[in-house]
Amino acid sequence: MSRTKHTAAKKPRRKPSAAAAASPATASPHTRSCKTNLSQIRNLLFLKVTAKKTGGPATPTPGKSKRPHRFRAGTRALQEIRKYQKTSNLLVPAASFIREVRAISYRFAPDINRWQAEALVAIQEVHV
């Protein structure tokens, strides 16, 4: 049996009533003022509910109703990556980096024990 694509049946559109067509404010309910009014109503309801629970006044207390700012997952990591890509300072201290380079080079070639200081700095700057 072959697969076929089934298209969704469209619902017939309703005609707007005469009252809705007459007032432009109700024609588009998703305006900025409507969203503001809804958020104000929600805040008032929240204050009333918390006042009933605590037995205190229904006035907003500064700093209590607003949640602390939180970044989405991974945002801070990306900010740190961008920050460290912009900087040119060395992330690993020079002395410990030089010690590790000498230890690794001794494992591979024990007869090489002298390094120029400029060469070690150049290796460290390449890996930044």
Q: What is the pLDDT of residues 15-43, one digit of tens each?
A: 666 655 555 555 555 555 555 677 778 77
pTM, two decimals, is 0.36
> Are the CB atoms for 85 and 77 separated by under 8 Å?
no
Q: Greatest CA span in the chain, whole angstroms?
A: 96
Q: How confident is the model at residue 92 (pLDDT cuts 50, 70, 90)?
A: confident
> Above pLDDT 90, what percent of the chain?
30
φ and ψ at residue 55, rounded to 5 degrees: 80, 10
Distance CA 28, CA 37 (A): 15
Residue 58 DSSP one-character state: S
> Are the CB atoms for 46 and 65 separated by under 8 Å?
yes
